[in-house]
Amino acid sequence: MTGNIAAVREALDHLDIDDNPATLKQKSRDFFWYSPVLKEKMDHLIGDFVVSPRSEEEVIEVLKTCFAHDVPVTTRGAGTGNYGQAMPLAGGVVMHMKNMTKVKEIHPGRVIVEPGKVVKDLDAETRAHSGQEQRMMPSTYGTATIGGFIAGGSGGIGSVRWGALRDLGNILRLRVVTMEAEPRILEFTGEDLARVSHAYGTNGIITEIEMPLAPAYDWVEFALGFDDFMQAAQFGYDLAQQDGILVKLITPIEAPIPFKFFKRFSGHVREDQSILIVLVAPHSLDGFTAFMGRNNDPDVIYRSDASTFERTPGHLAEYTWNHTTLRALQVDPTVTYLQVRYGGPDPLAKVAKVRETFGAEVLQHLEAMREGGNVIYAGLPIVDYSDEARLNEIIAIHEELGCMIFNPHRYTLEEGGRQKTDDRQLKFKQEADPKGLLNPGKMISWDDPNWSYDTMYAYPKMKQAS
Ligand code: FAD
C-alpha cells in the first residue's frame, strides 16, 4: 500500500530527511516489544523514510505530497508508546516531530506549545517562566513528547489529582492539519477535542497544543513499606481522598516486585514487603505526617529530602506507571503486564478478588486516579507470562470479575482502548483523511465496520516479514 514512494521522496528532498537504514529501523519502532504478542507480530515493520518537518507549513507540504501519491504517513513523537502506535504497519513515510519544539506562549494557568516538545523540557520552561508545571505527565516525561502524550497516552503522574487526559479541561485546544489534496488547518476545543486526542494520529496531525498548568512544587518523594499489600492499597486509597493534602502520585506495588525488580532498593526492602510510592507537596508534609500517624505509621523506606540510600534511587516517579513494568522486564524479560481499571464504589474489593483468583501469577501494581470526583485505581499488574492463550484467559477472567481491561497486547485503537469504536474519531477520519493514509491499520472501524472484539484484528495490508 505504499503508493509512489519514489515520487514523494524526490518531492520532499529539500526537507529534513533520513533514510539511513539503521535510523529508519529505529524510528519505525516504539515500545511494542513490552508485549510478547505484539513483539511477534510487529518486529519486522519498517517505514520507507523519515521526514522531520520544522514547521506547520512543512507538515502541510508532507501531507499534501503524500496524499497526491497515495503514500501512508505515520507520525512519531519520541516513540515511547507501548502498542505499536507509532509503527508504520503498511510502510510509507514516518513523520518525526522532533523539530517542532517551540514554546509559543506561557500564561497564568496555560501554555501554548508545538507537539514535538519533550514533556520534561516543557516543564522546565514553564517552571522557569512562572513557577508552573504540567498537571499530569507520563512516567516517560524525560523522553516523550507532549504531542505523543495527547495522541497516544492517557494519564500518569498527576492523575491522582486531575484525572485522565480525556477528562474535560485537561487539554485546552488542539490545532490539527488534515490529510487531503489541500490540507486544512482546524482548531478543536471542548467536546471536539475527543475527535483527535488519543487517536494515534489516524485522523489529523496535531501542530499546536494548548495545555492547562498548575503551580509547580518541589515534590517530596516517599516510599513507604507495608507487610500486607492490601494495607498499602487501602492507605493509598484513603490518602487520595484527603482533599487537603496535595499529592501528585499514589502507587501501591505488591511484594516481591520492589525486592526483585527495583535494584536500587536492594538492602532497603524485604522480599515480602509491599511499598507505596507517594509524591507530596512540601506544604502538605505536616498533614501527610499526621495522616501516617493516624494510620499506624508505616515504615518510611525512603524520602527524597532525607535519604539514607548510599546510591540515590533516582526519581521515584520513574518506578511508577509503566516504568514498573520496564524495571521488571529489565530483570526478567519473560514477564508481561496488563492495564486494568478497578472502578466502581469499591475498587479495593475488586483488587482483592483478582489477587485471590491469580495469586503470584498476576502481581499487583496500582495507580490512584481521580474519576468524576471519586478515587479509583488503575492497575498495571506484572503478569507471569506463559502463552497468549493463558494471557487471553487472564483478561477474560478480569472482565468476568468486573475489572475492565485496556488490552496492551493489541495495536488498534478499539482493542487497546474501550473495546468499542469511537464514532467521533471515525467520522472525523472520514472527513479529514478520505484516502485512509494516516497511520493505516490502527482504526479498525475504518477498515472493517463489522468487526467484533472476539478475535484479534489483523490488518490485511500489514507489511509482510521478508
Ligand atoms: P509516540 O509513541 O511517538 O506516539 C504516540 C502516538 O501518537 C502514535 O500513534 C503517534 O502516531 C501519535 N502522534 C505523535 N505525535 C503526533 C502528532 N503531532 N499528531 C498526531 N499524532 C501524533 N503513557 C501514559 O499515558 N502514561 C504513563 O505514565 C506512561 N508511562 C510509560 C512508561 C514507559 C516505561 C513506557 C515505555 C511507556 C509509557 N507510556 C505512558 C506510554 C508513552 O510513553 C506515552 O504515552 C508518551 O506520552 C508517548 O509520547 P511519545 O512522544 O513517545 O509518542
State mean pLDDT over 262-289: 97
Per-residue pLDDT, 125: 98
In the numeric block, which cell numbers belong to residue 126?
514553564
Is ligand 1 within 6 A of the CB of residue 151?
yes
* Residue pLDDT, tens place only, 99-109: 999 999 999 99
Per-residue pLDDT, 419: 67
- The protein residue whose alpha carbon is closest to atom 22 in ligand 1 is 201
Cell 477520519 -> residue: 429
Strands (DSSP E) found in 192-246: 205-215, 220-226
Judge whether residue 298 has pLDDT over 90: yes
For residue 75, how far is the Cα from the chain centroid?
16
Q: By C-alpha distance, which of 199, 314, 201, 324 is closest to 260?
A: 324
> Which CATH fold topology does 5-97 show?
3.30.43
CA distance readout (Å), 193 to 51, 170, 222, 321: 26, 10, 35, 24
Is ligand 1 within 6 A of the CB of residue 408?
no
* Residue pLDDT, tens place only, 49-58: 999 999 999 9
Burial class of residue 14 (count of CB atoms within 10 Å of its CB; 0-12, 13-18, 19+) = exposed
Judge whether residue 454 has pLDDT over 90: no
CA distance readout (Å), 313 to 317, 325, 366: 10, 16, 20
- The protein residue whose alpha carbon is closest to atom 29 in ligand 1 is 138
Instruction: Say if residues 32 and 200 touch (Cβ distance below 8 Å).
Output: no
> Which CATH fold topology does 220-405 show?
Vanillyl-alcohol Oxidase; Chain A, domain 3 (3.40.462)
Per-residue pLDDT, 183: 98
Judge whether residue 128 has pLDDT over 70: yes
Domain extents for the chain?
A: 5-97, 103-216, 220-405
pLDDT band at 416 (very low <50, low <70, confident <90, very high): confident
pLDDT band at 418 (very low <50, low <70, confident <90, very high): low
Query: Pocket of ligand 1, candidates 75, 114, 206: which has the most ligand atoms within 8 Å of its Cβ, to mutate?
Result: 75
Per-residue pLDDT, 2: 75
Of ligand 1's atoms, which has the minimum distance to the CA of residue 200? 9
Is ligand 1 within 6 A of the CB of residue 78?
yes
> Distance, CA 153 to ligand 1 centroid (Å)?
5
Of ligand 1's atoms, which has the minimum distance to the CA of residue 321? 28
State mean pLDDT over 252-281: 97
Per-residue pLDDT, 111: 98
For domain 103-216, give the CATH number.
Answer: 3.30.465.10
pLDDT band at 452 (very low <50, low <70, confident <90, very high): confident
Contacts of 14 (CB under 8 A, 6+ apart): none
> Distance, CA 77 to ligand 1 centroid (Å)?
7
Stretch (H or E) spanning 70: none
* Residue pLDDT, tens place only, 134-180: 999 999 999 999 999 999 999 999 999 999 999 999 999 999 999 99
Three-class DSSP category at 104: strand
> Distance, CA 7 to ligand 1 centroid (Å)?
30
State mean pLDDT over 261-290: 97
Per-residue pLDDT, 449: 82
Per-residue pLDDT, 451: 82
State mean pLDDT over 367-375: 96
> Distance, CA 81 to ligand 1 centroid (Å)?
4
Of ligand 1's atoms, which has the minimum distance to the CA of residue 201? 21
Is ligand 1 within 6 A of the CB of residue 35?
no
- The protein residue whose alpha carbon is closest to atom 21 in ligand 1 is 201
Per-residue pLDDT, 353: 97
State mean pLDDT over 61-81: 98
